[in-house]
Amino acid sequence: MTDKTVIIGLEIHCQLNTKTKLFCGCSTDFQGDEPNTHVCPICLGLPGAMPRLNKQAVLYALKVAKALNLTVPEVSEFSRKNYFYPDLPKGYQISQYDKPIAEKGIMEVDDDEGHPKNIRITRIHLEEDPGRLIHKTSRDRAGYSLVDYNRSSIPLIEIVTEPDLRSPKEARRFLNKLRSTLEYLEVFDGEREGSIRVDANISIKGHNRVECKNISSYKGVEKALNFEITRQRNLIRKGQRIEQETRHFLEGRGITTSSRSKENENDYRYFPEPDLRPLRVSGWVDDIVLPELPDARRERFMTQYGISENHARTLTGDLKVANFYESVADADSAIAAIWVADILLGEINYRSMRIDDVPTMNIADLIALIRDDTITDKSGVEVLRVMLDHCMGDNVETCEMPADIVTRLGLTKAAGDDFTAVIGEVIAANPNAVADYHAGKKGAVNFLVGQVMKATRGRADPKELNRVMADALKETEE
């Protein structure tokens, strides 16, 4: 429920999917690799090494800026943000401060009542990620840290919003849309570990603002905000003051805790990075061609494929799903919408599979089987499950074609007449139900139909079966 007194602003750090790091040629593709194997003098911060800015990262940032309607100033530059931490190899982070790459944009999201509203984007800037720390405890209880610099200097964009969001759900919707926009722009891979991190500023109107740092999931943002609203309201109700502070979100416990750092301790002493030259790239924006973005694609899906807004929304929320849908929509766009949006997504989610693990050819085949009335919907679900259970990720070969499954399991839809014998058996085996039926309990027919379905493993067309069953029961009346 929208509450006008809740004020939320977000700072979203997104990893750009460039091949190399922001300031050196080390590969960003380190998932699963040994620690400290994607490092060089630059990202290790060795003395004498100098940063070299990745052009692709600049182009990606400009693409995002254009998609979110930001202005690219004539000059932007990098600054050093100075602070000490063991994962920060240089003792400063190369970021942008008073001259970010883009300023003042807008993204539209639906509020909790479903009405579109504009969320203002303050700025977008480029910056490098620090390394990764692992906290170790040892037997004598004095812990230490282990550092892996593979992540050091991974390119990030930070997107900062104005405090225009009014509820945790709205914030979640904003993030979902942002994520899908970034994926449509092909600058971001939401499936990479740590690809998005959010700092959320939240306050209740008239009270101090609290910053919740380092939330690393979409769900986490909503949870952290809900927790904070409750916590802050409770304090206000008790007449207590809300401290202006930074809090950390503990994902596992779903709570925020004070990090006990006072705001004024964060004196980052920003100054222009003397080892990098400024950017003058405002003129580059015109040359950037944006792909179709989620809103436009949703509209197109509705008109081109004649599907509902809800289906269109679900199908366009994720670039890969939208592409998947379009490659199977030819067979029958309406059936395809139902089967992809309502059934397939749930089934792959349940199996922790990704949409690209499913060959489109197989789903197109399944949709054709449904369209041609070859199998019932129920059999269709069975075929899909059998198929997905044996799909081995990328290996398309392992994914059996639905038509073969239908043949193998004998799932071809049969007319009611083919089941006369089964119906006879079911009627004979359930005299009580038959008696109930004749006593006027018409619902008993559903039970009997269900028994036939069970015995035939769903191959019968339900409408047809109902008709034949009614006839058979009539015969038992004499």
Partner 1 sequence: MVKEYFFEKTDRTNAFITRLGLAMYEETGGPLEGKGIAVKDNISTAGIPTTCGSRILAGYVPPFDAHVVTRLREAGAAIVGKTNMDEFGMGTTTENSAFGPTTNPHDASRVPGGSSGGSAAAVGDGMVDMALGSDTGGSIRCPAAFCGIVGLKPTFGRVSRYGLIAYSNSLEQIGPLGRTVTDVNTLMSVIAGPDPRDTTAYDRPYTHTPSGEIAGMKIAVPEEFFGEGVDPAVAESVRNAIGKLEDAGAETMTCSIPSMAYALAAYYVTCTSEASSNLSRFDGVRFGPSVETKRSWHDEFRDHRGTLFGKEVQRRILLGTFALSAGYYGKYYAKAQVARENVRKDFLRIFKDADIIAGPTMPQIAFKLGEKSDPLSMYLADILTVPANLAGVPAISVPCGTVDKMPVGLQLIGRHFEEERVVDAAFAYEMEVA
Partner 2 sequence: MVLENDVEGIAKLADIHIQKEELGEFTSQFNHILEYFDILDTVSDGEEGKADLVNVLREDVVTPSLTQEAACANAHETEDGHIRAPRVM
Residues 210/228, Cβ–Cβ less than 8 Å: yes
In the complex, least distance from residue 191 CB atom to partner 1, rounded to whole angstroms: 31
Decide if residue 475 touches partner 1 (CB under 8 A).
Answer: no
Closest CB to partner 2 among 85 and 350? 85
Give the nearest distance from C-beta 185 to partner 2 in angstroms. Answer: 16
Q: Which stretch binds partner 1 (CB under 8 A): 45-53, 63-71, 380-388, 409-417?
A: 45-53
With binding defined as CB under 8 A, does residue 408 bind partner 1? no
CA distances (Å), origin 1, targets 4, 112, 167, 313, 336: 10, 6, 7, 21, 33
Out of partner 1, partner 2, none, what residue 271 binds, judged by CB under 5 to 8 A for its kind, is: partner 1
At its nearest, how many Å lie between partner 1 and the CB of residue 187?
Answer: 23
CA–CA distance, 43 with 50 (Å, rounded to integer): 9
Q: Which is nearer to partner 1, 10 or 42 (CB)?
A: 42
Radius of gyration of the chain (CA): 29
Residue 340 burial (CB count, 10 A)? 24
75 makes contact with partner 1 (CB under 8 A): no
Give CA separation, 225 vs 178, 216, 231, 249, in Å: 18, 13, 10, 10
Which two structure tokens, joined as six digits, stand for 21?
A: 């790091």
Show the site string, 49-68: x = touches partner 1 by CB under 8 A, - = not: xxxxx---------------
Q: What part of residues 89-108 is at the interface with partner 1 (CB under 8 A)? A: 89-92
In the complex, the smallest distance separating the C-beta of residue 287 from partner 2, rounded to whole angstroms, is 14
Binding residue for partner 1, selected from 75, 86, 186, 429, defined by CB under 8 A:
86
Q: Which does 252 bind (CB under 5 to 8 A by kind): partner 1, partner 2, none?
A: none
| Distance from C-alpha of 100 to C-alpha of 70, rounded to nearest angstrom | 11
Question: Shortest distance, CB of residue 388 to partner 2, whole angstroms?
Answer: 35
- Reading the block at residue 290, the tokens are 């944006």
**Which of the listed partners (partner 2, partner 1, none) does 92 bind, with a CB threshold of 5 to 8 Å by partner kind?**
partner 1
Distance CA 336, CA 16 (A): 32
**Interacting residue with partner 1 among 35, 45, 163, 462 (CB under 8 A):** 45
Find the Cα–Cα–Cα–Cα dihedral 246, 249, 255, 259, rounded to 10°: -40
CB-side neighbour CA atoms (13 Å) of 234: 6
Q: Could you say which of partner 2, partner 1, none residue 47 binds, taking C-beta under 5 to 8 angstroms by partner kind? A: partner 1
Say whether residue 78 binds partner 1 (CB under 8 A).
no
When asked if residue 44 is in the footprint of partner 1 (CB under 8 A), the reply is: yes
Residues at the contact surface with partner 2, assessed by CB under 8 A: 18-20, 24-27, 34-41, 44, 46, 52-58, 75, 84-87, 133-136, 142-149, 267, 269, 276-281
* Alpha helices, DSSP H, located in 238-376: 294-305, 309-316, 319-328, 333-337, 345-350, 360-371
Q: Per the structure block, which two tokens stand in for 255?
A: 């709570």
| DSSP assignment letter at 217 | S
Q: Does 350 bind partner 1 (CB under 8 A)?
A: no
Strand-by-strand arrangement of the 271-272 sheet: 92-95, 79-82, 271-272
Q: Residue 18 or 95: which CB sits closer to partner 2?
A: 18
What is the Cβ-side half-sphere exposure of residue 423, based on CA atoms within 13 angstroms? 23
The answer to the question of residue 47 lying near partner 1 (CB under 8 A) is yes
Query: What is the binding site for partner 1 (CB under 8 A)?
Result: 41, 44-53, 80, 82, 84-86, 89-92, 138, 140, 142-145, 147, 149, 264, 267, 269-271, 274-277
